[in-house]
Structure 1
């Protein structure tokens, strides 16, 4: 796991976007794992600016969303199908036919979950998965006690997660109780992972993910098992890291051949 500490949230988005841009430049038909929420918005804004400047092309890329609410109407502005289309597909010039979101409206949710994992495998796997982390340590909607071997499935959202997501809805009672999410095992299958976190509210979760023991109580700690995981955080989110100075030192002295900037 590589830990990159930068000054602020804008820099988090810029540096993480450079990592993703390096993958797409190397492989124009890359398969992207697309996260929603507030954490990755800076990534998408930075990538969109590169697309607008003619520096990057996502027209051949494919995408698989990380999760979706169960039972939310497709056209609802906070369905992740709508969010991905609005915040990712259109700004990046992706082909909507190449982007898939878990079917939270399926009559057979279990079958839809199995189908989603099979579709990812059929696409050759995810080349780079974008992630944020919740204040309780969840990645995707894999709440504490999720199995590290879990696959795409239905999950009940923790009260804290629903509370955190209420800011996206007119009324907190509108936040769905269930979701379809890629499992931790599904996420760990991605060839590369880039996780971003900003702000003091994420500091405890980041420290548990990076330096704590492998624990289902901190689902993000599963990334300690990933061979190519990059974690980009701002100073506030890094505040509880014991080895923060070491992470700064190693990034400052990274060999040229390993850099993606």
Structure 2
């Protein structure tokens, strides 16, 4: 696990986008696992800029999102489909048919989970999986539990997670209670994992995830078992690491 601390969030975003740009330059057909939330926004802005400047192309790449809320139409402003369009996909030269996000409005959610997991199996390994880190150690929407489901599945969101995401909704009550997420087992199949964390409020969970025991009660700690993880932290997020 390669852990790198940055003095500024700007430098962190530059490094994160640089890793993805380098991958696409060497492997234009790269399969990218993408994340949502506040963490990757700065990285996406730099990727959009690089694409518009002609430094990189997404023309032959494919994207696969980690998760989506259950019960939100894709056109809802807080859906992860809408987020990805706004922050990245609508502003780079990636083909819409190469962009994949679970359907949280599917009539049969179990069938949708199976469809998405089958798709991931058919395309082969994700080349780079981008991850943020939840305050309770969740990655994707895999919440702490006594056991974790390996494949794509429907998860009941913890109140802490819903509270953290309430800023994207008009009221806390509007935050969905369920989501479809890739399982930790699916995430760990990626060739490379890029974990990005910033903020003092994440310092304790960063220490637990990276230097604590490997346990399903902190899903991100399972990243310690992966052979190729790069962790990008700002100074505050990494302040408690020994």
Return the TM-score normalized by structure 1: 0.90
Q: 1:194 to 1:146 in 2, by over 3 A?
A: farther
Structure 2: 5+ residue runs without aligned partners?
Answer: none
| Cα-to-partner distance string for 1:34-68 (whole Å, 9 max, x where unaligned) | 10000011111111111111100011110011100
2:46, 2:59 → 1: CA distance? 17
Q: Is the 8 A contact 1:6 1:233 kept in 2?
A: yes
Contact 1:32 1:129 in 2 (8 A): yes
Q: 2 CA distance for matches of 1:148 and 1:33? A: 20
Which residue of structure 2 aligns with residue 150 of structure 1? 150
1:117 is displaced (CA, Å) by 1.1
Q: CA RMSD of the aligned region, Å?
A: 1.1
* Map 1:1-261 → 2, pairs under 5 A: 1-145=1-145, 147=147, 150-242=150-242
SS at match of 2:88: helix
Tell me, yes or no, if the aligned pair for 1:148 and 1:222 is still in contact at 8 Å: no
Alignment size in residue pairs: 242
Unmatched segments (≥5 aa) in structure 1: 243-261
In 1, the alpha carbon distance for the partners of 2:147 and 2:8 equals 33
Within 2, Cα distance between the matches of 1:36 and 1:12? 17
Contact 2:110 2:153 in 1 (8 A): yes
Q: How far is 1:113 from its partner?
A: 0.6
For residues 148 and 21 of structure 1, the distance between their equivalents in structure 2, rounded to whole angstroms, comes to: 32
CA distance in 1, matches of 2:116, 2:55: 32
